[in-house]
């Protein structure tokens, strides 16, 4: 069976070009996939002519409407029923595709997904997850902003959602799951976190519960899944982004400062290239909206075609890893 | 008038040695200060013999008791009434000193401070603030963990506390203050944040209110003060720490990998030294507990004498900058 991906071709900067180039790059490496591309044919067709691989592996569903970034989720839903985003999600809800992908307006995508796709039995609130590079590999972190306020039940659900995602990609049994907190001692944190801790300690789960984890230890990679509410998760994600940008800019500035430092920079070109590759945020591009009957992947709006390629790869990996089967199993257990 | 600092000499790793070495380093640069040093004289006296500057500028108040790091705040308060931490804070509450400084147990220090020092009229909850390096200088961020749950009134107070701190150090009028949120649009975030936004927009303040700010923009340095609840602030602080450590380790590893890269590393020794200096967390060591009748400074427990020196410098700067006068002014207005 081919993996089938419904793509909103009109979301984010420089679309549909980056979307189509990303699809082409993916098809060069993996043939076992077909695409439903939603968007403006007047813009798509002239580009796609130059990408024969994309032409033969995809169906274009034309619409002039697109969801712009400055639209509120409410406006988007109200006026966007013929948009490329809505249509891509509709195709998913009708099981014409296995997963939907968009680089567009995050708020609109989350609200439309919830409207068009049912939640899995047992899940109250779906969550947005992504993979963070650590000293030891990749760690799933959620929720990254779908739910600003979360109760005990939500956080327990997120543990199940996140561990299913981790298992589907890495096939490691009993992934280690921890709750993000201001300290690792059991006395620390809000009442909700303390209650969640107690609930998780008592239950036998598909995952191994590792208690509380602090923000500075996420990057250690000693746990596979880090769970938090959407507010803190979003703050953590973006603060990490800002810090990474700050440090890499500082390093770059320093090496481009004098004639001597520029010379050193040239001599260490290969080292910097490999560093840049390791720290390339495009490689980890893609948030996964978990807990619905089908997964929806959100690409960063500002990424380029290589970043978009990685979000396609993420779609492919979770479908190949039977994410939905694993999710349903976690919520039945 | 000399600045008078009450120092808990027994907190954190490698104390009292690092504390006394830090004081010595500070006295080499600044004479207009005197220290009250609280701790075990059997450990302090043999060290202080080698630091004549410290001997002449300080009074030692002996006690064998110290607050260990694994004590809960409750236990610390119950059994620690003769500890170096408690006695240092008592000296502050009795106005024998202008500011207290400890590298010990954070939870105990906060609870003891609240017990021994009154809050300024108008302040419900004091907050923990620190200075973050940004692209443009330093930004005050608070609360970093003193208050896990915060209401509208608390967040408004934190804006006043943070802007008073910023003004006292940098003497810049109308500091720009923003609330940390998951988006910069006014529709984003919790109900508490939206209400706080409305309240701040309406009021005329000593500071300039800049709306919401996202985690990735803190490092841009476009605002002078970033306000959030203690949970998110702590997560942001520690996630930034972890990210910085991750990236600098990666850079270091890469340059120490091969013979060639080690050679490059040697050739670029000066560049790396200046980078290391810029990114040195010891230079920003010190959280300030704001909103009490006197300020209390918390040094990182794991820092060395140079880090401790910087926390002494912070004590000196805020007293010299008339922090308390500014705080009271902000809460009267």
Structure token pair of residue A304: 């380029």
Q: Which residue in the set B72, B231, B243 is minimally distant from A182, CB to CB?
A: B231
Structure token pair of residue B52: 């004549």
Give me the pLDDT at residue A277, please: 92
pLDDT above 80 (res B204): no
Answer whether B242 sits within 8 Å of A190, measured CB to CB: no
Residues of B in contact with A261 (CB under 8 A): 268, 271
Under DSSP, the state recorded for B179 is E
Residue A212 to chain B, least CA–CA distance (Å): 12
Residue A32 to chain B, least CA–CA distance (Å): 35
Q: Which of A182, A189, A264 is best to mutate for the B interface (most B CBs within 10 A)?
A: A182
The share of chain A scoring above pLDDT 90, in percent, equals 93
Q: Which of B247, B249, B276 is best to mutate for the A interface (most A CBs within 10 A)?
A: B247
**What crossing angle do the helices spanning B230-255 and A269-279 adopt, rounded to 10°?**
150
Residue B192 to chain A, least CA–CA distance (Å): 11
Distance of CA A149 to the CA centre of its chain: 20
Q: Which residue in the set B232, B240, B278 is minimally distant from A243, CB to CB?
A: B240
The share of chain B scoring above pLDDT 90, in percent, equals 93
- A262 touching B, CB under 8 A? no
Answer whether A240 sits within 8 Å of B239, measured CB to CB: yes
Q: How far apart are CA B129 and CA B289, in angstroms?
A: 6
Q: CB under 8 Å to B169, separation ≥6 — which residues?
A: B131, B138, B317, B318, B321
Q: Are strands B58-62 and B33-39 parallel, antiparallel or unpaired?
A: parallel
Q: In what order do the strands lie in the sheet with A296-298?
A: A58-62, A33-39, A3-8, A99-102, A296-298, A287-290, A127-134, A137-142, A225-227, A176-180, A208-213
pLDDT tens by residue, A270-306: 999 999 999 999 999 999 999 999 999 999 999 999 9
Question: Would you tell me which residues 25-54 of chain B have a C-beta closer than 8 angstroms to some C-beta of chain A?
Answer: none
- A218 touching B, CB under 8 A? yes
**Contact at 8 Å (CB) between B223 and B213?**
yes
Q: What residue of A is the nearest CA neighbor of B250?
A: A275
**Contact at 8 Å (CB) between B308 and B7?**
no
Give me the pLDDT at residue A333, please: 65
Q: What residue of B is the nearest CA neighbor of A267?
A: B264
Residue B53 to chain A, least CA–CA distance (Å): 38
Give me the pLDDT at residue B91, please: 98
**Contact at 8 Å (CB) between B255 and A267?**
no
Q: Are strands B176-180 and B208-213 parallel, antiparallel or unpaired?
A: parallel
pLDDT above 90 (res B298): yes
Report the predicted TM-score, pTM, of the whole model to 2 decimal places: 0.95
The mean pLDDT value for B289-311 works out to 97
Residues of B in contact with A245 (CB under 8 A): 216, 219
Q: What is the mean pLDDT of chain B?
A: 95
Question: Would you tell me which residues 224-243 of chain A have a C-beta closer than 8 angstroms to some C-beta of chain B?
Answer: 228, 230-232, 234-243
pLDDT tens by residue, B119-168: 999 999 999 999 999 999 999 999 999 999 999 999 999 999 999 999 99
Nearest to B36 by CA among B51, B57, B21, B15: B57
Q: B332: pLDDT confidence band, cut at 50, 70 and 90?
A: confident
**Contact at 8 Å (CB) between B236 and A236?**
yes
The mean pLDDT value for A238-251 works out to 95
Number of H helices, E strands in chain B: 13, 11
Q: Which residue in the set A72, A247, A267 is minimally distant from B279, CB to CB?
A: A247
Coil, strand, or helix at residue B186? coil
Q: B283: pLDDT confidence band, cut at 50, 70 and 90?
A: very high
Residue B97 to chain A, least CA–CA distance (Å): 31
Residue A180 to chain B, least CA–CA distance (Å): 8
Which phi and psi (to 5°) does residue B7 adopt?
Answer: -115, 125
pLDDT above 70 (res B31): yes
The mean pLDDT value for B10-24 works out to 97
pLDDT above 90 (res A13): yes
Angle at B146 between CA B140 and CA B150, to 5 degrees: 90
pLDDT tens by residue, A114-135: 999 989 999 999 999 999 999 9
Give me the pLDDT at residue B333, please: 65
Looking at mean pLDDT, say which of A41-50, A204-213, B323-332 comes out highest: A41-50
Q: How many CA atoms lie within 13 A of A145 on its CB side?
A: 22
Residues of B in contact with A237 (CB under 8 A): 215
Q: How many CB atoms lie within 10 A of CB B303?
A: 22
Question: Would you tell me which residues 117-146 of chain A have a C-beta closer than 8 angstroms to some C-beta of chain B?
Answer: 134-135, 145
Give me the pLDDT at residue B202, please: 85
Residue A237 to chain B, least CA–CA distance (Å): 8
pLDDT tens by residue, B305-318: 999 999 999 999 99
Q: A10: pLDDT confidence band, cut at 50, 70 and 90?
A: very high
Question: Would you tell me which residues 264-303 of chain B have a C-beta closer than 8 angstroms to some C-beta of chain A?
Answer: 264, 267-268, 271, 274-275, 278-279
- B180 touching A, CB under 8 A? yes
Looking at mean pLDDT, say which of A100-104, A171-175, A268-272, B267-271 comes out highest: A100-104
Q: What is the mean pLDDT of chain A?
A: 95
Q: CB under 8 Å to A165, separation ≥6 — which residues?
A: A129, A140, A142, A225, A288, A290, A318, A323
Of the listed ranges A23-32, A200-209, B228-237, the least confidently predicted one is A200-209
**Contact at 8 Å (CB) between A23 and A311?**
no
């Amino acid at each position: 069976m081919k993996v089938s991906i419904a793509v909103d071709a009109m979301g984010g900067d420089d679309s549909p070009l980056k979307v189509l180039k990303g699809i082409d790059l993916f098809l060069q490496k993996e043939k076992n996939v077909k695409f439903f591309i939603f968007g403006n044919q007047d813009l798509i067709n002239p580009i796609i002519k130059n990408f024969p691989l994309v032409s033969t592996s995809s169906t274009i569903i034309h619409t002039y409407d697109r969801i712009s970034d400055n639209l509120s989720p409410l406006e988007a839903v109200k006026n966007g029923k013929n948009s490329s985003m809505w249509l891509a999600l509709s195709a998913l809800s009708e099981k014409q595709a296995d997963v939907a992908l968009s680089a567009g307006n995050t708020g609109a995508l989350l609200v439309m997904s919830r409207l068009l796709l049912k939640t899995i039995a047992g899940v109250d609130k779906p969550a947005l997850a992504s993979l963070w590079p650590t000293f030891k590999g990749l760690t799933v972190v959620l929720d990254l902003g779908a739910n600003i306020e979360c109760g005990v039940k939500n956080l327990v659900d997120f543990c199940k959602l996140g561990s299913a995602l981790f298992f589907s990609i890495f096939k490691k049994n009993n992934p280690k799951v921890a709750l993000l907190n201001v300290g690792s001692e059991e006395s620390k944190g809000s009442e909700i976190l303390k209650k969640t801790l107690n609930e998780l300690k008592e239950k036998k789960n598909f995952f191994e519960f590792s208690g509380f984890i602090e923000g500075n230890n996420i990057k250690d990679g000693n746990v596979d899944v880090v769970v938090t509410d959407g507010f803190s998760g979003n703050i953590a994600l973006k603060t990490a982004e800002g810090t990474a940008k700050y440090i890499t800019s500082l390093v770059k500035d320093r090496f481009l400062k004098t004639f001597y430092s520029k010379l050193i920079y040239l001599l260490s070109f290969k080292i910097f290239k490999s560093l840049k590759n390791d720290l390339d945020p495009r490689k980890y591009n893609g948030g996964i909206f978990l807990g619905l009957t089908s997964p929806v992947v959100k690409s960063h709006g500002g990424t380029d075609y290589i970043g978009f390629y990685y979000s396609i790869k993420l779609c492919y990996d979770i479908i190949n890893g039977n994410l939905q089967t694993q999710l349903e199993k976690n919520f039945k257990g």
